[in-house]
Structure 1
Amino acid sequence: MTSGLWVLIATSAILVFWVVGAYNRLVRLKNAIGAAFAQLDEQLRRRHDLIVRLMTLVAGPLSQESGALDALTAAGNQAREAAERARATPLLAGPLGALAGAEQMLAASLQRVLALVEHHADLQHDAAVREIGEALLDTRHRIGFARLAYNDHVQAFNDATAQFPTVVLARVFGFFPLEPLVALP
């Protein structure tokens, strides 16, 4: 064999190893985004469960405030539906944007009910209501940290898909930049 053929074989082997390595890195980064979304989703589910428990405790004492309770129930249902759609496609901007919007509506409705609870004498001193309020606050912080972790993974993926020469490989194999989650209250 000639030295030119050896150079061609070596160059081809290096190129194949680079393509395989770059592709695997993109897959690993994309999978990390899915795992980060699963952590975020777990915290959202926890908040939804806590809201249901809160509603059970305050429905009787706050029955005269049915508008606020109904709004919270409706917002909770919308948030759960949006979460289901986002769970099915956690890498698409549309479902994630809808999830963020639904969660913002849920947070606003929840704040209204919590304000009513705070002004209701019987509920102020209820240990179970206080415990759920503290758990909701803790979960809000956890959601914030999970969103930041998700966005960090999205940023790492987007950086990898934008760097030359990986950008060429990314486009060939259908890896496109993703949108971060703007806000989840």
Structure 2
Amino acid sequence: MWILSLELLLLAVLVFWCIGAFKRIKRLKNHCTQAFAPVQEQFVQIVEMMRNCARMQLLKEQVAGVFVPHAPQALLSSADVLESAVEQPGKRSIRPESVAALDVAWQSAQVAWQAYVQQCADKSEMHAEHVQEWSQRWQQLHTLQMHSLAQFNDAMAHYNQSIAQAPTCVVARLSGYRPGRSFQKDAALLMQPTA
């Protein structure tokens, strides 16, 4: 009789443990989704800034008659790619494929911005002044975005660590929770020459 009581006690502990593990995984996943909201909002601001910058450049070039070949168009197309990647995850849970696409679009937007700044700075004084005005705004948005990405990466690391632990991984697998993906390092840091 006492063996049956012990088995029921162990079963109750196992059930409560599974429920607790499921709630913890769900809470961590919701935290990742909440951490992604400012990332997504700042990506929208960056897209608008890139578009406004390129459009202003095109207007100034038409007035002055001095053109930088392909620079504003490349910036606009990079902004379009980033915007489509931002809209991909939507309000649903953050899938690794969506975050990967957004990460690649963000890296290419940073590279496009650096190329745009370099081409404009080399072209004329009018272009250099234009880039200097917009570079301050880019730097502000970039700094905010790096902070938000770090918070998202931290939340995703906690989530991934939680579902990788030996007993919790069974509950995660049975519940359909998969490991998430974090953003890579900043493209600007990756492009700096090494000694």
- What is the TM-score of this pair, normalised by structure 1? 0.84
> What's the counterpart of residue 22 of structure 1?
21
> What's the counterpart of residue 77 of structure 1?
80
Shift of 1:156: 1.0
Aligned-partner Cα distance in 1 for 2:7–2:110? 61
8 Å Cα contact 1:143-1:184 kept in structure 2: no
Shift of 1:77: 0.7
User: What does the per-residue CA deviation read over 1:31-74, in whole Å, with 9 as the maximum and x for residues that have no partner?
Assistant: 11111222211121111111122123222223512511111111
Instruction: Show structure 2 runs of 5+ residues with no match.
Output: 188-195
Change in Cα spacing, 1:91 to 1:159, as seen in structure 2 (3 Å) is same
Question: 50-59 or 86-95: which moved more?
Answer: 86-95
* Residue 164 of structure 2 corresponds to residue 162 of structure 1: yes
The runs of at least 4 consecutive aligned structure 1 residues that moved more than 4 Å come to 123-126
Aligned-partner Cα distance in 1 for 2:181–2:115? 30
Shift of 1:149: 1.6
Q: CA RMSD in A?
A: 2.3
Aligned-partner Cα distance in 2 for 1:65–1:89? 41
> What's the counterpart of residue 190 of structure 2?
none
Aligned-partner Cα distance in 2 for 1:93–1:62? 41
Shift of 1:78: 1.1
* Residue 183 of structure 2 corresponds to residue 181 of structure 1: yes
Aligned-partner Cα distance in 1 for 2:94–2:129? 43
How many residues in Structure 1 have an aligned counterpart in Structure 2?
182
* Residue 103 of structure 2 corresponds to residue 100 of structure 1: yes
> What's the counterpart of residue 153 of structure 2?
151
Instruction: Show structure 1 runs of 5+ residues with no match.
Output: none
